[in-house]
Chain A
């Protein structure tokens, strides 16, 4: 921590306090003012990021922080983007892809991540501390130590649950008996937090034996990631109601990724809508950008989603995804990975070549 600071550079601990204050109360500060401090810190302490920005003509000490070049998510699979101010305390990794390499998100501190995750979950669910039990169809964070999802669910359980429950997702699928037992024993509102993969496994193998207690909610996240059959969204949410007794308005969908520290949620599912409407916390700015120019699009236009996440305080604040979506004052509509809008031609798709090339 002895590195001399450039003018206007906050040290991490001070900067994190500022982000936390903004998370708690945005009334006395502005998003871009806080983002300005964050990107100045990142330019000072993240040399690889600073070189990238410089190559793009961006200087955090001169330019509007809203214009900071976002880092595409694939970069995390190839480059270590970590603050050099101190040794990192935690690394989260993306799940495997056809290309083999996993993205790594290195962190010094998780203060803004944890507090933000708790606050926004409370906002979206109306739950208070120690008011429920958790049933977790998520990998055990002691087994999968680099899963940001497992870490987050662990933090949420520690805050909102009155007790501790088992981790019911394993590499070969959901723990059916454990899930059944957890539901049988539930005597207070339950948060069933699971990946779509875990729920799909339940749907195929579990015979419903009871319904969730009143006030329970279901949170689905994570997509299928090629691990099981894909279950149409309406079928899955219909099953939440028929098998678990959880009405659609009490079913939430969560969206995030290892490269982010903040989450988006739907506020209950609206069946029949072609897509769900996600809400983001005020410390996460979501913009749809033009796929070619990467310039922000007007509200309501579909483009690639870009996230400016203040809770990525010590890593990379601006993240560019390949997910298509549109942003309006009401929220964010996600369309998933950008599909081939025009025929690809007769050249092999990148994924096919990589899978073939990297096959053992």
Chain B
């Protein structure tokens, strides 16, 4: 698959080659404001075809693309994984797992269902529709352009971004992190081959984050800006937008697990299974995701003591996940933070160590942060008030709670977590595998982007 065969007719080939720089080359520092505008124009023109398509047609094309990526011997997935490993430090099997897990869930049926869930109709952009939730008939207007700013570590996020843009009929420019420019480009390259009419509405660019002139130019031309990253990055991007551009920021978050009292008759096999699930939640993306399990609160009235849970995760859970999802290369910063935390725990005799992971057992109920890289804290809790005191300082920063509990407790705990501002509650083993048909970070995925025309009777 060469760029030459898929070059858009309307853009000078040399310029396009610079914009669509392929992974493996030096990252694109040649962007200038004129080029940003050219790219914005180009994807805008590509939207004409996109908007003629029904949601089912888009979903079918994406389904074929995902089938190609998952099943074809020519699939670029292995190449993607190798490149992403070299840029992010995540292991190849981890990258493959992440991408396959997402692509398998992005079936045509799931994509159509997402549009129905977000907009109340599978084709909200074509003709006024009577929606169950609304008194007047409505028709949606897609955004002119979406400008996405990616953070870089979770390789599946740019894929999600492109799929969502297409479902919203929004031409999109994806600005990748310089540290991970590959996934978005390789996915788009595959799309050009399988679904070129969709690919024309998308572009991938890269420049050093914080380059104000380029970012301001992109924001000026976009009607929706979606930014991932630290609070500083989000705030900087927010400052670049002018009304009426819609701005959606996804900042950094933390996630935790919660084991309630549970069934006292449960035995070791159940603990082993549970330990594997918690280990998966702490291992996916090497614990650098906002939905990664950082700290596990274990009830002191449960079937297992916090120490038993900590030991089982270290001795059974982490080795189990390591076999299929090896830990990647840690940065010096992460390794140094881990070294310090592990040593402190070693002195107090509360470290349960695995070859590529560790669990630190605490005796005080409070949220303990992790530097990532599979270092999990296990913390005891005994009363809702204690839990509340531990989590309340992090209100507004809490993403996902993995909840293990019996039905009688579920309602009370769910209400408590809701009051604490937790955005998502799920079961062990699912923390980093969110349902596709759900909000992201407590907000709709795409319905915020569109404007509506109401047609009153």
Write the residues of chain A forming the contact surface with B, with a CB cutoff of 8 angstroms. Answer: 48, 51-52, 55, 71-75, 77-79, 291-292, 294, 303-304, 320, 322, 324, 337-350, 352-354, 356-359
Stretch at the interface among B48-56, B102-110, B148-156: B148-156
User: Restricting to B301-349, which residues have a CB under 8 Å from any CB of A?
Assistant: 329-337, 339-341, 343-344, 346-348
Residues of A within 8 A of B348 (CB): 78-79
Interface centre among B333, B334, B394 (most CB of A within 10 A): B333
Q: Is B229 an interface residue (CB 8 A)?
A: yes
Stretch at the interface among B38-46, B250-258, B449-457: B250-258
Q: Is B370 an interface residue (CB 8 A)?
A: yes
How far is it, in angstroms, between the C-alpha of A51 and the C-alpha of B350 when the chains are bound? 13
Taking a contact as CB atoms under 8 Å apart, the answer to whether A347 and B292 are in contact is yes
Q: Is B70 an interface residue (CB 8 A)?
A: no
Residues of B within 8 A of A348 (CB): 252-254, 290, 369, 397
How far is it, in angstroms, between the C-alpha of A346 and the C-alpha of B399 when the chains are bound? 11
How far is it, in angstroms, between the C-alpha of A353 and the C-alpha of B88 when the chains are bound? 23
Taking a contact as CB atoms under 8 Å apart, the answer to whether B151 and A75 are in contact is no
How far is it, in angstroms, between the C-alpha of A320 and the C-alpha of B367 when the chains are bound? 26
Give, as a whole number of angstroms, the nearest-CB distance from B293 to chain A: 10
Residues of B within 8 A of A346 (CB): 151, 153-154, 228-229, 250-253, 288-290
Taking a contact as CB atoms under 8 Å apart, the answer to whether A291 and B335 are in contact is yes
How far is it, in angstroms, between the C-alpha of A72 and the C-alpha of B344 when the chains are bound? 8
Give, as a whole number of angstroms, the nearest-CB distance from A165 to chain B: 38
Give, as a whole number of angstroms, the nearest-CB distance from A79 to chain B: 5
Q: Chain A: which residue is nearest B397 at the CB level?
A: A348
Q: Chain B: which residue is nearest A55 at the CB level?
A: B346
Q: Given A341-B333, A342-B153, are A347 and B89 neighbors across the interface (CB < 8 Å)?
A: no
Give, as a whole number of angstroms, the nearest-CB distance from A97 to chain B: 11
Residues of A within 8 A of B228 (CB): 346
A322 contact from B88, B89, B337, Cβ within 8 A? B337
Residues of A within 8 A of B154 (CB): 345-346
Give, as a whole number of angstroms, the nearest-CB distance from B374 to chain A: 12
Number of A-B contacts (CB under 8 A): 142
Taking a contact as CB atoms under 8 Å apart, the answer to whether A347 and B252 are in contact is yes
Q: Given A78-B344, A291-B339, are A347 and B254 neighbors across the interface (CB < 8 Å)?
A: yes
Taking a contact as CB atoms under 8 Å apart, the answer to whether B347 and A304 are in contact is no
Taking a contact as CB atoms under 8 Å apart, the answer to whether B339 and A347 are in contact is no
| Beyond A344-B372, A347-B288, A357-B367, 9 additional pairs, beta carbon < 8 A | A72-B339, A78-B344, A79-B348, A291-B330, A338-B336, A342-B329, A345-B154, A349-B252, A350-B370
Taking a contact as CB atoms under 8 Å apart, the answer to whether A345 and B180 are in contact is no
Residues of A within 8 A of B88 (CB): 342-343
Residues of B within 8 A of A73 (CB): 340
Taking a contact as CB atoms under 8 Å apart, the answer to whether B337 and A350 are in contact is yes
Residues of B within 8 A of A51 (CB): 347
Q: Is B168 an interface residue (CB 8 A)?
A: no
A347 contact from B294, B333, B337, Cβ within 8 A? B294
B393 contact from A77, A291, A337, A356, Cβ within 8 A? A356
How far is it, in angstroms, between the C-alpha of A354 and the C-alpha of B180 when the chains are bound? 28
User: Restricting to B358-372, which residues have a CB under 8 Å from any CB of A?
Assistant: 366-367, 369-372
Taking a contact as CB atoms under 8 Å apart, the answer to whether B339 and A320 are in contact is yes
How far is it, in angstroms, between the C-alpha of A77 and the C-alpha of B341 when the chains are bound? 11
Give, as a whole number of angstroms, the nearest-CB distance from B82 to chain A: 16
Taking a contact as CB atoms under 8 Å apart, the answer to whether A356 and B394 are in contact is yes
User: Restricting to B132-157, which residues have a CB under 8 Å from any CB of A?
Assistant: 151-154
29 A-B pairs in the complex with CB atoms less than 8 angstroms apart: A72-B343, A75-B347, A78-B348, A294-B339, A304-B339, A320-B339, A320-B343, A322-B336, A324-B332, A338-B331, A340-B331, A341-B332, A342-B88, A342-B89, A343-B88, A343-B180, A343-B288, A345-B289, A346-B228, A346-B252, A346-B290, A347-B290, A348-B253, A348-B290, A350-B370, A353-B397, A356-B397, A357-B393, A358-B393
A-B CB proximity, top 6 nearest: A345-B288, A291-B335, A353-B369, A345-B153, A74-B340, A322-B336
How far is it, in angstroms, between the C-alpha of A79 and the C-alpha of B340 when the chains are bound? 13
Residues of A within 8 A of B287 (CB): 347
Give, as a whole number of angstroms, the nearest-CB distance from B194 to chain A: 29
Residues of B within 8 A of A352 (CB): 252
Residues of B within 8 A of A77 (CB): 344
Taking a contact as CB atoms under 8 Å apart, the answer to whether A347 and B343 are in contact is no
Taking a contact as CB atoms under 8 Å apart, the answer to whether B344 and A353 are in contact is no
Give, as a whole number of angstroms, the nearest-CB distance from A307 to chain B: 15
Q: Is B405 an interface residue (CB 8 A)?
A: no
How far is it, in angstroms, between the C-alpha of A359 and the C-alpha of B341 when the chains are bound? 21
Taking a contact as CB atoms under 8 Å apart, the answer to whether A340 and B333 are in contact is yes
How far is it, in angstroms, between the C-alpha of A42 and the C-alpha of B394 when the chains are bound? 42
B344 contact from A75, A340, A343, A354, Cβ within 8 A? A75
Taking a contact as CB atoms under 8 Å apart, the answer to whether B330 and A322 are in contact is no
How far is it, in angstroms, between the C-alpha of A346 and the C-alpha of B331 when the chains are bound? 15
Q: Chain B: which residue is nearest A99 at the CB level?
A: B369
Q: Chain A: which residue is nearest B347 at the CB level?
A: A79
Q: Is B179 an interface residue (CB 8 A)?
A: yes
Q: Is B177 an interface residue (CB 8 A)?
A: yes
Give, as a whole number of angstroms, the nearest-CB distance from A291 to chain B: 4
Q: Is B285 an interface residue (CB 8 A)?
A: yes
Residues of A within 8 A of B336 (CB): 291, 304, 322, 337-338
Taking a contact as CB atoms under 8 Å apart, the answer to whether B372 and A304 are in contact is no
Interface centre among A51, A73, A294, A338 (most CB of B within 10 A): A338
Taking a contact as CB atoms under 8 Å apart, the answer to whether A74 and B254 are in contact is no
Give, as a whole number of angstroms, the nearest-CB distance from B227 to chain A: 11
Q: Chain B: which residue is nearest A71 at the CB level?
A: B343
B289 contact from A48, A337, A347, Cβ within 8 A? A347
Q: Chain A: which residue is nearest B330 at the CB level?
A: A292
Q: Chain B: which residue is nearest A77 at the CB level?
A: B344
Residues of B within 8 A of A52 (CB): 343, 346-347
Q: Chain A: which residue is nearest B345 at the CB level?
A: A78
Interface centre among A55, A292, A359 (most CB of B within 10 A): A292
Give, as a whole number of angstroms, the nearest-CB distance from A193 to chain B: 29
What is the 8 Å Cβ interface bit string for chain B, positions 226-265, against chain A (1 contact, 0 not)?
A: 0011000000000000000000001111110000000000
What is the 8 Å Cβ interface bit string for chain B, positions 186-227, against chain A (1 contact, 0 not)?
A: 000000000000000000000000000000000000000000
B366 contact from A292, A294, A338, A357, Cβ within 8 A? A357
Taking a contact as CB atoms under 8 Å apart, the answer to whether B288 and A344 are in contact is yes
Taking a contact as CB atoms under 8 Å apart, the answer to whether A292 and B393 are in contact is no
A78 contact from B151, B294, B347, B394, Cβ within 8 A? B347
Taking a contact as CB atoms under 8 Å apart, the answer to whether B177 and A338 are in contact is no
User: Restricting to B277-297, which residues have a CB under 8 Å from any CB of A?
Assistant: 285, 287-290, 292, 294
What is the 8 Å Cβ interface bit string for chain B, positions 98-127, against chain A (1 contact, 0 not)?
A: 000000000000000000000000000000
Taking a contact as CB atoms under 8 Å apart, the answer to whether A357 and B371 are in contact is no
How far is it, in angstroms, between the C-alpha of A356 and the C-alpha of B394 when the chains are bound? 7
Residues of A within 8 A of B344 (CB): 72, 74-75, 77-79
How far is it, in angstroms, between the C-alpha of A52 and the C-alpha of B348 when the chains are bound? 9
Give, as a whole number of angstroms, the nearest-CB distance from A43 to chain B: 15
Residues of A within 8 A of B153 (CB): 342-346
Q: Chain A: which residue is nearest B152 at the CB level?
A: A343
Taking a contact as CB atoms under 8 Å apart, the answer to whether B332 and A359 are in contact is no
How far is it, in angstroms, between the C-alpha of A75 and the C-alpha of B341 when the chains are bound? 8
How far is it, in angstroms, between the C-alpha of A350 and the C-alpha of B368 when the chains are bound? 9
Residues of B within 8 A of A347 (CB): 252-255, 287-290, 292, 294, 370, 372
